[in-house]
Structure 1
């Protein structure tokens, strides 16, 4: 690794859990844009927001356009801003998340950014309400509005950060996130705090799998 290094964080079920608030807000935005109540939602683990929106619409017999997604993204961001206090009250940062971010920020040359399927305004609210945003270089991350495929998000983040794959490590709770890192030659550390098991993350190719982020020393060791 060079003098500069970057840790690329996933958000949902890696750093935070919205405890259902995220789905509710997606439903509000979906109905605002389509005029239809969101009866069910497409699988979300490891997918980006434009894919989730399109597939959810398809479950309701609806075809959508890029313009529809832009409207949905705006409505979703607005809903998160309006109900940020509720998100803070009902959701929570995962154990050890804040300590891990703080510890990594104290290391010379280590930068932290986000690679997330969330659109950036939503990502900012989700981390901000739990005080997890102060070490994040938002301009070095990649978000749901940037690309549909997670592997492309990793590539974009590296480009924005001005770093090579060997100078990066990605942390994610899904096999899709792990696969996106590996597709770009980036080290992947899995964290089994979502729906995927440690075995799932190992099978996907994660170099290291953490049960959670509670052991700060172990997290720093895995990501350094």
Structure 2
């Protein structure tokens, strides 16, 4: 039986409704001195890779120190505009209820996200979804470039085996990162990937959203 859920954040638990891109653009300008005319692919991608690839689109070469400055600026922009994030974004239907229901049956919950940890914490705090997350067990964008390594790190930090964990996410990258570590996946078609695309990636279960909390608890526990 699973005892640990690894949550993705964006388009799984919350939707920033474009505010996230605006905050990234502000941090990019502060870090590079150039306006962000376009952004690299973001779905399922970690923050260091998004920053590096976005910089390349602007004919810029960056290093780890540049990313760390960007990460600091991104955190500050999220803190400064938390009210806008709250007003324009929203928790996805069923997110809060599912977190509560899993906690009620003793399932530990953490985050495996391409976001850097401070931003992940702000995003969930803004929408009241942070109180049941065991942040120290998670893995975040600053930890590694790849989803698979983030899943591995989280399992290590939680002292959990692959069989004891379930990842819940909305992208093929979430599915692939979990499967690279032998972790079962519940894919949620609440992002840009539809149910067919998530099934094609190999997700064990695909749901349209998080509204059916009773079903989700059963799926996480592996009940027949």
TM-score (norm 1): 0.98
How far did 1:51 drift?
0.2
Paired position in structure 2 for 1:183:
180
Paired position in structure 2 for 1:201:
198
Confirm or deny that 1:153 pairs with 2:150: yes
How far did 1:218 drift?
1.4
SS at match of 1:7: strand
Paired position in structure 1 for 2:189:
192
SS at match of 2:191: coil
How far did 1:219 drift?
1.4
Give, in whole Å, the separation in 2 of the partners of 1:66 and 1:27: 18
Paired position in structure 2 for 1:102:
100
Give, in whole Å, the separation in 2 of the partners of 1:116 and 1:95: 20
Paired position in structure 1 for 2:117:
120
SS at match of 2:97: helix
Give, in whole Å, the separation in 2 of the partners of 1:222 and 1:210: 10
Q: Which runs of 5+ in 1 are unaligned?
A: none
How far did 1:118 drift?
0.1
Give, in whole Å, the separation in 1 of the partners of 2:181 and 2:9: 20
Confirm or deny that 1:90 pairs with 2:80: no
1:182-224 Cα shifts (integer Å, max 9, x gaps): 0000001100000001011111111000100011111112111
Paired position in structure 2 for 1:136:
133
Q: Which runs of 5+ in 2 are unaligned?
A: none
Match of 1:61 among 53, 59, 78: 59
SS at match of 1:62: coil
TM-score (norm 2): 0.98
* Two-structure CA RMSD over aligned residues (Å): 0.7
SS at match of 1:73: helix
Alignment size in residue pairs: 221
1:128-176 Cα shifts (integer Å, max 9, x gaps): 0000001000000000000000000000000000111010000010001
Confirm or deny that 1:79 pairs with 2:97: no
How far did 1:98 drift?
0.2
